[in-house]
Structure 1
Amino acid sequence: MPQDAKCPKCAHLFPVTEARQAFTVACPRCDADMTVEFKKPAAPPDAGQAPYDVVVKPGALPDGTASLKAARRRSDDDDSESAGGGGGGSVLIVVFSGVLGLLFVIGGLGATGWVLFTQIDTSETTSNWSSNRNNNKGNSSPGNNNQGHPGNNTGKTGGGETAPPLPLRGQTGFDLRPVSGGGPSITPPPLTDNVTPLDLPGRVGQIAVGGGGRYIVMHFPDKGQLGVLDVATAVSQFVEADRGDRVRIAAGQSRVVLFSPDTNAVQVFALPDLNKVAETPFPMSNCQSIAMGSRTNGPVLAVSTSGDVVLADVTAGGVKLIEGSSEKLGVSSNNLRAAPDGTAFTAFDGVGANKVKVLTELGRKWKVTEMGPAPFPGGDGHFYGNGTAFNRTALPVIPTASGTWYVPAISGSGGDFVKLAASDTATGKRVALTFHAGRNPNSPVPGTPLMVGPEIDNLMDARGNIAPDKAPDQHLFYSPEAKLLVLLAGNRTRFLLRKTNAN
């Protein structure tokens, strides 16, 4: 019977099947090799308890001989116990055993048929993948960016793809655990001027944060490009990618996931060089949004147009469905965000929505919590938004203030955020931007500037309303470690890099 094994590297729990000898298995989350062995407990287990203790050791099995011998000794012991110490056997026992064996075979065939015809999830995932790929086979042309890129051995290969495996029903659940260890270091970039403009190759569509806040990843739907800005060096680079406004991206510690709905395929790129390392079919049909923690390398959460959710592990070989994570939650697929540590996600209709749904894991199942208008997860585990911030139990941690928005920093875990405050003045509507720490909205960080200007004014009106296409967390990227604010400006065609340690 399957029992849970715990990865010694990332503490991920996953089921392993009972075996009589030690074996090597890779963690489905972090790909770390480990040795798993089933051992009989010292005392007989109570009713309902697992019959064996699962012993997990880091690293692959160096030499299976010793473990194999131990497994054989255990097998011999089990056989001796089954024999009960008796010698020989009568003809009646032999005949009776043969009849039981025949019944067992017949029963096994029946059970196999029952699984095949009742337990396979015959969703449209595979059929949609096949039909989408067939519909695109005839569209290969020099101008079609959905067919891979010259010189890239991991691109699409026409008829060589395989559909994703069909998941079995009766799955055992999943877990979301914080990642351990630090990401790439973040330091102030070598900028001479207080404000440095950076022109981009085109209009930015999807945008995400990776590398624990060091990298800002952009997709250019009109140009068919993927780009990354390193806030610690102020250097950007770009590579070819699929075109279209329907393309979705998510970024993690060292990987970027790009989903193309036209082919229902997902591509995995490495950070920060954006080398494409894999391309596979996506394990969900009608995917609308994806998100991944910026300090993780998965899992990535996907939400369909009907509000179904599923988690997928991200590896060098592509993405793979996490069994037990698929559920019909009915959450909004219009907007999706991930906490930096990957343990919480927010789903909401629009930036100005009064209700936000927070998705977390409890008991290896999804838990959905409804809270007020705070859709942006911060590195401190809280959620920021329209004049307030909440913890994971939907209790406010910042008093509500009208006409303001709080946008969490893209790096760090000390409750750093940007505050936008709108007001009417004698010269018209103005929006002021200030920098804050420790979830304190009343006192800006000493030495940081008060920022005003047309690019900031365009983010909200005098009553604090945000335009649907002006989500502040998609336009303002504050890194306390880099002492830098990156503002997406110029109709989403350029960055303004503003030092935060200079008035």
Structure 2
Amino acid sequence: MRIAYLLLASGLMSLPVSGLRAEVPADLAKKAKAVLEKSCHSCHGENGTVEGGFGYVMDRQQLVSRKRVLPGDPSKSKLFHRVESGDMPPDGKALAKDDVAILKKWIAAGAPDFNPAVAKRTFIFTEEVIALMRADIKKRDEADRKFTRYITLTHLYNAGRPEDELQGYRNGVAKLVNSLSWARKVVVPTPIDPARTVLRIDLRDYKWSTKIWDSIAGSDPYGLVHPDSKTAQNFYEEAGCVLPHVRGDWLVAAASRPPLYHEILQLPATEKELETLLRVDADDNIRTHQVARAGFNGSAVSRNNRMIERHESSYGYYWKSYDFGKNVDRQNLFAYPLGPGAAKNHYKHDGGELIFNLPNGLQAYMLVNGEGRRIAKGPTEIVSDPKRPDRAVENGVSCMSCHVKGLLPKDDQIRAHAEKNPDSFSDKELEAVRAMYLPKDRFQALVKEDSDRFRKAVEQTGGHVGTTEPIVALALLFEAELDLALAAAELNVEPADLEKLLKRSPELARTLGNLQTPGGTVQREVFGKTFPDAAREWKLGTLAAKATAADIGKDPKTHSDPADAGTVVITPPVMTEDRVVKRLPDVYSEVVVGGGGRYLIFHLSKLKKLAVFDFNEARVTKYIPLTEDNVTFTAGLDCVIIGLKKANKLERWSLTTFEREKSVWPPFKEDVTGVVMGYASKGPVVVNGFFVDPVTFRLLRVTDPKGNERPLGSALGRFPSGDGTVFGAWKSNQSPVETATFVLEGGIVTRHEGGELMHAIPGPDGRFVYTAKGVVSRTLNRADKDDATFGYCLPALRGDYFLSLTSAQAGKGGSMTVYMHGVKHPVGKVENAEHGLAFDGWDRGADGPWKRIFYVPDANVIAVLPNSNDQVVLHKFDADAALEKSGADYLIVTSRPPTEVKAGAVFTYPVKVKSRDKKVTYQLDSGPRGMTVSGAGVAEWTVPANAVGTQDVILTVRTESGQEVFHTFTVKVVK
């Protein structure tokens, strides 16, 4: 006994009791792996599943590096915390106590590796990927190559991402591209390499044009081209594209939200246009009770009562939600269950979400405001998404997250309410409620039918319907912090090489140096900001956005489609008198026009806000907060661009949601000093003289004829036309004045000089420039000798009207006469409208009448900003009525034709005119073979597939009274 005791005490004798013997690490790892595979893998990795954004449960290295497991400490391990608490697995399927104990032992023992030893992956360099894609595209028929594009996951493979997670990305990419498709079939991208990290797509499979791809590629902040590589040059030429490949994780994150979500899916601007596209007559369906409705309190996204409504569409189902800013009056669905409309018993909603089947069975989404116009984000006071950092419901990504299983089943409460209170509703109202608000079983059958259709389509993409939307999960993974392995892979260097590069680059190491510390990471925003500098300094390639103006999806001369500005609805405000004074909350220091002429935007520097004055309501309706008072700002058709001079950052704010959409550093190293943009354009925006895309904030290739990339130079003034194609400039405190214009066309800015015309303010479309000495062309030439007689002129913000001003002494006098192009006589004079602005025609100051008088014909008002800088004086003036009253016999073509048409497409141009004589005829005098013009003035031409070059067109427009004008234009045929 004593011998046995001594042997035991000395550790020379082991007990055969298994409970007292330490388990072999390999055995413990094997048991832990079995538990994870049995209970977790089906949701977190198997076949690419990414529930909770967690698709690597069977990869011990990833569990540790991503801090799901902290070796040696189960209590601080996220994975163990979730299983011990019973949260995972969900739905009451908690792990058995023995399985929980195994995981605890495994982590406490240091989480020994359960993955079999495998050979280290061979790093795949960019040159190999390009060679692979080039070899693949050469196998394609020549006619197919220009539609062949590639989506890469190679950097994720290089970063050591497990195969389960890589499959999750393949599934996510497949679901995304098919969720942006108008084609009838689901088409899964084709892997072209053994590791399946390079996926080929054909744009035609998703009904994407090459311009849509250019918009995608031009928005890619990580898209590098390699102009010095002969293989790469050949590949780009064969694809007919500057950047024929983009990264899959970036694509999933960027294309699942606006603006790319809207652009790729080609969503129209309004609810009615979408319904026309889907062949849904919602108004008629409601009138004839061919809808299924459910109204209720308590929604996952809305604070107030809500109603959802189902229609049949040409592609399956079409659902609408009606969302409300409050629950009282006509926004109380229980009291006003019928509508929408103007009737006294109809509800009045503030916006909604539209969900519809694409032809392939997947779902697409559109958010709209109360006027039925498309918006990027829903107002947080109406709807919210707790999963997003700003809690805003963002079109695409938020909708996908909520509707991961298709349609959400909701029980109607309106039908029972109306039937329980029959005396509160008329017989007709009760009949309508019973017809549209269906019984629970019938309504839920429709929801199930639609969700099943969606599920089958998802399964065709290779994925499955779970509790987590894979597109959203992968987007969140992309937005997460980067470790050394991932950052190196995104830069296409091995981790050891990245550390060496950082040691040679102190400036870059200041930003990215934390990657070299154990477990160090860098924020995605920081890495994205630094990426261009790293690519340039380490000669990794050239950013495609720098190499082409395709960032904005169109050539700069046509980026701002004139039809876009026409979609802005401007209506006359309610004015009880001909002259109304509207006071501002404080004194303003600067003012710009935005929203296609609908808004004046004032800088209230003391209040650190921008105040948005809406002509539709004749008052300030919104405020944009500023983080500093030293700002420069401008506005376009749908956004405000703010340059923060102290922080040296650029911000983009939406003119739809009035929320900040982006905050970035400028795409150059100097401080931001000035921003300019056409008030009816979508870009470009000029920052410090450089042309920049307002969506991506990338520099665009816009130069002067000599190749200078700052084509506006240091020109003063720089007032843009509404469409952003012509910039007026003049020297205000120097003689001679040297008036000039800068005309943007085809990526080239050309300067034109006009002597001492003083100010040069281009009109809405840039055709005419308005000066202190009459009206001139955009090249500062006289179009008509009589144009000089108009004197001191300013353009209207829309259309063909303009003002002629007389000078005044400060505080009194001064008149405004309204003219219209094509009519020699005045349209009318604004009565009792002394503007009180002092000027003598010399335009010495930087704050003349061009910054104080704004004519908005659609609103029937002329706004004057007095020198006190604290009020807006509105003068009522209806130009169309005045033109009729003038007695002038006039005939004017007011429309502008499309400038381009695709070969093989149909060119359609409805000619619009203003005429005293309502009987107008149209005659085609000259044009391409096959072009016709109808009696209603619609010019049409089926463009031959082999047509090239430009086509000149001459139309004669006549009235019965003998008036006649020639309408000439040129159309360019593009491939």
Could you tell me how far apart the structure 2 residues matched to 1:213 and 1:298 are? Answer: 15
Name the counterpart of 2:721.
Answer: 339
- What amino acid sits opposite 1:212 in the alignment? G
Report the Cα offset of residue 213 of structure 1. 0.8
Report the Cα offset of residue 430 of structure 1. 4.3
Aligned partner of residue 267 in structure 1, secondary structure: strand
2:837 to 458, 463, 467: 458
Q: Note closer, same or farther for the CA distance 1:338–1:357 as it changes in structure 2 (3 Å cut).
A: same
Q: Does structure 2 conserve the Cα–Cα contact (< 8 Å) formed by 1:387 and 1:404?
A: yes
Could you tell me how far apart the structure 2 residues matched to 1:235 and 1:257 are? Answer: 22
Could you tell me how far apart the structure 1 residues matched to 2:216 and 2:791 are? Answer: 39
Report the Cα offset of residue 251 of structure 1. 0.9
1:431 to 801, 807, 814: 814
Whether 1:360 aligns to 2:743 is: yes
Could you tell me how far apart the structure 1 residues matched to 2:628 and 2:811 are? Answer: 40
Equivalent residues in 2 for 1:225-240, closer than 5 Å:
225-236=609-620, 237-240=622-625
Report the Cα offset of residue 267 of structure 1. 1.4
Q: Note closer, same or farther for the CA distance 1:439–1:251 as it changes in structure 2 (3 Å cut).
A: farther
Name the counterpart of 2:556.
Answer: 175
Report the Cα offset of residue 330 of structure 1. 6.0
1:410 to 765, 773, 797: 797
Equivalent residues in 2 for 1:257-272, closer than 5 Å:
257-272=641-656
Whether 1:189 aligns to 2:573 is: yes
Report the Cα offset of residue 444 of structure 1. 2.4
Report the Cα offset of residue 369 of structure 1. 2.2
Could you tell me how far apart the structure 2 residues matched to 1:18 and 1:333 are? Answer: 42
Aligned partner of residue 850 in structure 2, secondary structure: helix
Aligned partner of residue 258 in structure 1, secondary structure: strand
- What amino acid sits opposite 2:727 in the alignment? F
Could you tell me how far apart the structure 1 residues matched to 2:531 and 2:825 are? Answer: 52
- What amino acid sits opposite 2:659 in the alignment? N
2:582 to 195, 198, 219: 198
Q: Does structure 2 conserve the Cα–Cα contact (< 8 Å) formed by 1:431 and 1:460?
A: no
Could you tell me how far apart the structure 2 residues matched to 1:428 and 1:202 are? Answer: 20
1:498 to 860, 864, 875: 875
Report the Cα offset of residue 257 of structure 1. 0.7
1:162 to 529, 537, 551: 529
Name the counterpart of 2:804.
Answer: 419
Report the Cα offset of residue 350 of structure 1. 2.7
Could you tell me how far apart the structure 1 residues matched to 2:528 and 2:239 are? Answer: 40
1:252 to 636, 642, 645: 636
- What amino acid sits opposite 1:391 in the alignment? S
Higher relative contact order (CA 8 A, sep 6+): 1
TM-score, scaled relative to structure 1: 0.63
Aligned partner of residue 557 in structure 2, secondary structure: coil
2:202 to 2, 12, 22: 22
1:296-344 residue CA offsets vs partner (Å, 9 max, x unmatched) = 22211123xxxxx3222223xx633224557133633542222111222
Q: Note closer, same or farther for the CA distance 1:331–1:159 as it changes in structure 2 (3 Å cut).
A: closer
Q: Note closer, same or farther for the CA distance 1:443–1:313 as it changes in structure 2 (3 Å cut).
A: same
Q: Does structure 2 conserve the Cα–Cα contact (< 8 Å) formed by 1:404 and 1:422?
A: no
Name the counterpart of 1:319.
Answer: 697
Could you tell me how far apart the structure 2 residues matched to 1:162 and 1:50 are? Answer: 30
Report the Cα offset of residue 358 of structure 1. 2.4
Name the counterpart of 2:607.
Answer: 223
Q: Does structure 2 conserve the Cα–Cα contact (< 8 Å) formed by 1:247 and 1:259?
A: yes
2:730 to 341, 348, 351: 348
- What amino acid sits opposite 2:662 in the alignment? A
- What amino acid sits opposite 1:171 in the alignment? A
1:489 to 859, 866, 884: 866
Q: Which moved more, 1:353-362 or 1:395-404?
A: 395-404
- What amino acid sits opposite 1:449 in the alignment? V
Could you tell me how far apart the structure 2 residues matched to 1:385 and 1:249 are? Answer: 24
* Bigger proportion of residues as strand: 1
Could you tell me how far apart the structure 2 residues matched to 1:53 and 1:158 are? Answer: 32
Q: Which moved more, 1:21-30 or 1:229-238?
A: 21-30
Name the counterpart of 1:395.
Answer: 781
Report the Cα offset of residue 175 of structure 1. 2.8
Q: Note closer, same or farther for the CA distance 1:346–1:403 as it changes in structure 2 (3 Å cut).
A: closer
Q: Which moved more, 1:400-409 or 1:188-197?
A: 400-409
**Percent of matched pairs sharing the same residue:** 21
Report the Cα offset of residue 432 of structure 1. 2.0
Report the Cα offset of residue 501 of structure 1. 3.8
Q: Note closer, same or farther for the CA distance 1:490–1:368 as it changes in structure 2 (3 Å cut).
A: closer
Could you tell me how far apart the structure 1 residues matched to 2:645 and 2:855 are? Answer: 31
Q: Does structure 1 conserve the Cα–Cα contact (< 8 Å) formed by 2:855 and 2:861?
A: yes
Name the counterpart of 2:27.
Answer: none
1:15-49 residue CA offsets vs partner (Å, 9 max, x unmatched) = 9997564367655499999xxxxxxxxxxxxx9x9
Q: Decide which structure has the larger Cα Rg and report it.
A: 2
Equivalent residues in 2 for 1:434-449, closer than 5 Å:
434-438=817-821, 443-446=825-828, 448-449=829-830
What is the alpha-carbon root mean square deviation over aligned residues? 4.7
Alignment: residue pair count: 380
Name the counterpart of 2:684.
Answer: 299
Could you tell me how far apart the structure 2 residues matched to 1:30 and 1:492 are? Answer: 45
Equivalent residues in 2 for 1:73-222, closer than 5 Å:
162-163=529-530, 165-166=532-533, 168=542, 171-172=547-548, 175-177=556-558, 178-179=560-561, 180-181=563-564, 182-222=566-606
Could you tell me how far apart the structure 2 residues matched to 1:328 and 1:475 are? Answer: 29
Aligned partner of residue 314 in structure 1, secondary structure: coil
Gapped regions of structure 1 (runs ≥ 5): 3-14, 34-46, 67-108, 110-116, 131-156, 304-308
Could you tell me how far apart the structure 2 residues matched to 1:382 and 1:351 are? Answer: 25
Q: Which moved more, 1:258-267 or 1:397-406?
A: 397-406
- What amino acid sits opposite 2:690 in the alignment? V
Q: Note closer, same or farther for the CA distance 1:260–1:333 as it changes in structure 2 (3 Å cut).
A: farther
Q: Note closer, same or farther for the CA distance 1:242–1:391 as it changes in structure 2 (3 Å cut).
A: farther
